[in-house]
């Protein structure tokens, strides 16, 4: 057994993402402070997002539309122009938010890229993910970039076949048990879970602590050593 390929999730693995969504949600609470208490807003927004997921997919534009829809629902269909303007503005700011690699990311990827093929596997808006990768300065380190609408075992099998030597010789790394870890294990790959300090409710799952190809790492700085140890 030898590992040739390392797959990496992008949002909340290489750079902040969920934090930016949370900040926008705080801003939404401020805009709607006269309309409903924070808890009601959050619950209603979560329900609207869940309902829209199959239609809008993942990403900022769908989130912005879900915020507007939530504002409509909670104001009897008559949100103030100030609220709509604030939501549109918040959405635009999310799309131009500066992208800065998380601590230790660049060092770990440079080190890994010497001996392994690195493949980025991420969900979200196609254009926005490409823009974030370009802005991160990390693009040159990857031999392949897969921006996908859903992450399942077939996604990883395909990505590691196209850009590497197949899923059995690959390790996937990410902050979502549901999207990065469980389907990669199912595809036959190794998987390293690196938790981020907040997780979108949709992505929550239990860690497969007993799985022989699974590990949990405290930080991405620990990744090169773990990958090398796989043989």
Spatial distance between the Cα atoms of 94 and 97, rounded to a whole number of angstroms: 5
Spatial distance between the Cα atoms of 168 and 98, rounded to a whole number of angstroms: 36
168 closest CA partner among 179, 156, 176, 180 = 156
Please provide residue 166's backbone torsions phi and psi, each rounded to the nearest 5 degrees. 100, 160
Interacting residue with a copy of itself among 2, 34, 78, 140 (CB under 8 A): 78
**Interface with a copy of itself, residue 38, by CB under 8 A:** no
**Interface with a copy of itself, residue 81, by CB under 8 A:** yes
State how beta strands 190-193 and 5-8 pair: unpaired
CB of 108 to a copy of itself, least distance (A): 27
Comparing CB distances to a copy of itself, the nearer of 80 and 217 is 80
**Interface with a copy of itself, residue 126, by CB under 8 A:** yes
Interacting residue with a copy of itself among 38, 141, 143, 147 (CB under 8 A): 147
Comparing CB distances to a copy of itself, the nearer of 92 and 211 is 92
Comparing CB distances to a copy of itself, the nearer of 57 and 221 is 57
Cα dihedral sign for 178, 180, 183, 185?
A: negative
Spatial distance between the Cα atoms of 186 and 169, rounded to a whole number of angstroms: 13
Residues making contact with a copy of itself (CB under 8 A): 55-57, 61-62, 64-65, 68-69, 72, 75-82, 84-85, 88, 91-92, 95-96, 125-128, 130, 147-149
């Amino acid at each position: 057994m030898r590992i040739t390929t390392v797959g990496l999730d992008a949002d909340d693995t290489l750079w902040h993402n969920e934090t930016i969504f949370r900040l926008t949600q705080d801003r939404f609470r401020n805009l709607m402070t006269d309309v409903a208490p924070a808890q009601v807003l959050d619950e209603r927004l979560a329900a609207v997002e869940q309902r829209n997921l199959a239609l809008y997919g993942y990403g900022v534009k769908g989130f912005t539309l879900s915020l507007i829809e939530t504002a409509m629902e909670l104001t009897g269909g008559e949100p103030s122009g100030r609220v709509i303007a604030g939501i549109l503005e918040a959405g635009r700011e999310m799309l131009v938010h500066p992208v800065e690699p998380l601590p230790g990311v660049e060092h770990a990827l440079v080190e890994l890229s010497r001996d392994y093929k690195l493949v980025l596997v991420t969900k979200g808006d196609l254009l926005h993910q490409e823009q974030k990768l370009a802005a991160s300065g990390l693009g040159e380190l990857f031999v392949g970039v897969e921006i996908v609408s859903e992450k399942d075992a077939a996604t990883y099998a395909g990505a590691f076949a196209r850009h590497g030597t197949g899923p059995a010789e690959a390790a996937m790394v990410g902050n979502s048990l549901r999207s990065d870890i469980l389907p990669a294990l199912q595809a036959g790959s190794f998987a390293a879970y690196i938790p981020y300090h907040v997780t979108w409710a949709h992505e929550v799952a239990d860690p497969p602590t007993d799985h022989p190809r699974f590990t949990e790492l405290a930080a991405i700085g620990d990744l090169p050593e773990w990958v090398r140890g796989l043989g």
